[in-house]
Amino acid sequence: MTSIPRRKLLATLAPAALLLSQWPAAALAQASWPSKPVKFIVPYAAGGPADVTAREIAQSLALEIKQPVVVENQGGGMGIPSLNVVTRAEPDGHTLWMPALGNAVLQPLLSKAGGADMLAKLRPVGMVSTSAHVLVVSAKLPVKNVKELIEYARANPGKVSFASAGTGGTAHLGMEMFKALSGTNVLHVPYKGSSGAVNDLVSGQVSAMFSSLPSLQGVVDKGYVCVLAATAPSTSPATRSLPLMSASLPGFEYTTWYAMYAPLATPTPVIASINTALQKVLKDPALQAKIEPHGVELLASSPDEVNAWVRRDTEKWSRIIRSAGIAID
């Protein structure tokens, strides 16, 4: 039997030893995910569109990864409490944040306390969904389409009012975009939540509102409000056949969206594992069939595509916010 000199043996094994020393932080992390239940931290109260979407995805993902996936609602505080939970979590891929456009883009633009410093402590996993909003008007307003609304607003400056669930939300900013592109003088009426806004829209106390369609479907079906257009092209059965805002106001387009984030120190292989499982779930026709009636389109993507959405919408909405001089603190 031929023996190998000790020096030669060490030289042969050294590269392998170096590789193994680097392996646990990456490949071992990937192999160990998921090793326990996964949490979705949702910065909204239970029962809303974000919660419904998160819970449907959680059920499907649990079947895919063979571990429980729990949705925890951390509403209020501009989403900062939910951010705190995730930034302080172990960076192992088992605690994930599911923010909306408002949390990831609008709040940091509108408020010094909007969480920009904490967002820098997170990294994207992938997109989750996107949805077009609709422009609706009170049935008491004598208009049937966007062109007529613009003409009415121009003929009655200051008399057309737009409701929103609060200053700085997408309903408010959609109105500011409408105002800028149409050259109209319309009034913003912020409410503390959507119920008061919808009640006054039905009664005619306010004229119009941007909103998700499913949340207004009941009053639409009863004829209390009229749907004029969608804010963006859509494949959702709820909005895909509607006229587009851009047909009357070129350049008008926006959607609201949700994405998934993890703590910044989460290893790249773990992010890749989560993204692979998430994409598989989001492309499942059965899940899509459950979600689409809510006006939501599931959107599988890479982490880089999340950053692209954030950059694009930051540029879009920062212009609107600066032009209108909006701030929430």
**Torsional class of 44: left (φ above 0), alpha (ψ -120 to 50), beta (otherwise):** beta
- Strand 297-298: give its sheet, edge to edge: 69-73, 38-42, 95-97, 255-263, 122-132, 297-298
In tens, the pLDDT along 197-247 reads 999 999 999 999 999 998 899 999 999 999 999 999 998 888 999 999 999
Q: How far apart are CA 149 and CA 61, in angstroms?
A: 44
pLDDT of residue 83: 94
Among 30-34, 46-50, 112-116, 278-282, the minimum mean pLDDT is found in: 30-34
Sequence-ordered strand ranges (E) for 145-285: 161-164, 187-190, 208-211, 225-230, 255-263
- Is residue 162 a contact partner of residue 175, using CB atoms and an 8 Å limit? yes
Of 115 and 90, more confident: 90
Find, among 114, 48, 46, 125, the residue nearest to 80 by Cα. Answer: 114
Question: Treating both helix axes as pointing N-terminal to C-terminal, what angle do 146-155 and 170-182 enclose, rounded to 10 degrees?
Answer: 70
- What number does CATH give the domain 134-248? 3.40.190.10
Measure CA of the first residue to CA of the last residue in the chain; give whole Å: 80
Report, at the CATH architecture level, how domain 37-130+255-324 is classified.
3-Layer(aba) Sandwich (3.40)
Q: What is the CA radius of gyration of the chain?
A: 24
pTM of the model: 0.87
Where exactly does CATH 3.40.190.150 map onto the chain? 37-130+255-324
Model pLDDT for residues 165-208, shown as the tens digit of each residue:
999 999 999 999 999 999 999 999 999 888 999 999 999 999 99
Cβ burial of 15 (10 Å; 0-12, 13-18, 19+) is exposed
Q: In which residue ranges of the chain is CATH 3.40.190.10 found?
A: 134-248
Q: Residue for token digits 């599911």?
A: 98
Q: Which residues of 128-153 are buried (b: 16+ CB within 10 A; e: fewer)?
A: bbbbbbbbbbbbebebebbbebbebb
